[in-house]
Structure 1
């Protein structure tokens, strides 16, 4: 990452999660000059690649290659960089070395903020695992005793992006982000996810719904033409000098 640029970090359990749930935030901040870096912990090669497996004559290596290609193309459209940890899928497991590897990414990126999954998800245990890993790596990257002599990180705010079924995940947004101006980029990135085409329309509807809610919360007299939005839930209190 460029040391003179404000940076952001996205920790995605699978190689498509960052597109559905945070593609607008990524594109918007990249447009604003942020360096946005994405860590994909897994390719989602077992649990989220059904369409690829149904093609026949397929193996795990080919599925991973296809998912990597999709994610790289999407990240490029959104204006972000991406790296892949490839720690497995269904089940996804993280050992101490993976934790330290992510802490090193924090140190390298020095993010202004972090995006990851909801803290609960009864439908997919990989998602809260990713958020737990993101939080613990953040703590380690703040510790003076971890790799002494390296620059530590500050306390970047952490936001959980929207899960597939919010109510069951006990997820409630307290931030609504207007992504209208970058929706074309997000939808182009969504279309890169050929292995999960059944979700394209679903996440379009989610963006429209959050856009309606965002418009309502700025007031009907606002001149802002909000059509598409994304929802986020903050994990830590916001520190501010005014409440406007």
Structure 2
């Protein structure tokens, strides 16, 4: 299989809104740079992350899923990304081999330059580290010559973990601070489509401002808005930067 013409970015999100809060800036930034960006949502977050909707009268699971689908699709469009929904449920989330192999196929078709997903630990939400486990397992299988040997294997795209809701409790420490100031308005517009989680709009604005301050203090640049990431694997380079 030939390499995708455009460089690409893969985002594996446990729930339909997670990628917006945590990686919306990266998605918008790399889309503007000409990358093909694909977001894979394992679940709609229909049980555990849609409390506002369940408080409405006569609410049903199909209605919640449809609303979360619409919100996430609109957000992805604002950010410049493709989006796919695997709809495997949440609270609890369970991943079958069939779903795992679907993600492997996405890796081999997209051939991403790098991958974004959740923290490796999260005692508040088991779906989040599960999503990252699946993203990494699919990455390993996509590298295996014995899996569907008629397909070309992928290389070793770096995996970066975006910020959890309570990083101190999740053993998450940022070692990459990304300047998203130029695309902040896109990220803000994207998360304001998430009506089911309106209570998080202000919170993630504060997070972006805080990471922006930290990014400025760790550079010679004036940065207003930032996103934090933690690398899983060592950075490979020819010189320090």
Fold shared by both chains (TM-score > 0.5): yes
Instruction: Say if 2:90 is the partner of 1:124.
Output: no
For structure 1, the 5+ residue unaligned runs are none
Q: Which residue of 2 aligns with 1:190?
A: 191
Deviations 1:180-232 (A, max 9, x none): 000000000010100000000000000000000000000xxx3x331000000
Would you say 1:226 and 2:218 are equivalent positions?
Answer: no
SS at match of 2:217: helix
Please list the CA deviations of residues 67-111 of structure 1 after superposition, one character each: whole Å capped at 9, or x if unmatched: 000000000000000000000110000011111111111011100
The equivalences for 1:34-45 within 5 A come to: 34-45=35-46
| SS of residue paired to 1:111 | coil
TM-score by length of 1: 0.97
Provide the alpha-carbon RMSD of the alignment. 0.8
Confirm or deny: 8 A CA contact 2:4 2:109 kept in the other structure: no
**Matched residues in 2 for 1:240 and 1:108: separation?**
26
The whole-number CA distance in structure 2 between the counterparts of 1:124 and 1:4 is 37
| 1:163 alignment partner in structure 2 | 164
Give yes or no for the alignment of 1:200 onto 2:201.
Answer: yes
1:57 is displaced (CA, Å) by 1.1
Question: Which stretches of structure 1, 4 residues or longer, exceed 6 Å deviation after superposition?
Answer: none
Q: Indicate the residue corresponding to 1:243 in structure 2.
A: 240
Alignment of 1:45-194 (within 5 A): 45-194=46-195
Q: Does 1:26 align with 2:27?
A: yes
Name the SS for the 1:167 alignment partner: helix
Look up the SS of the partner of 2:12 in the other structure. Answer: strand
Farther off after superposition, 92-101 or 177-186: 92-101
CA distance in 1, matches of 2:57, 2:173: 40
Please give the alpha-carbon distance, in whole angstroms, between the structure 1 residues aligned to 2:27 and 2:222: 20
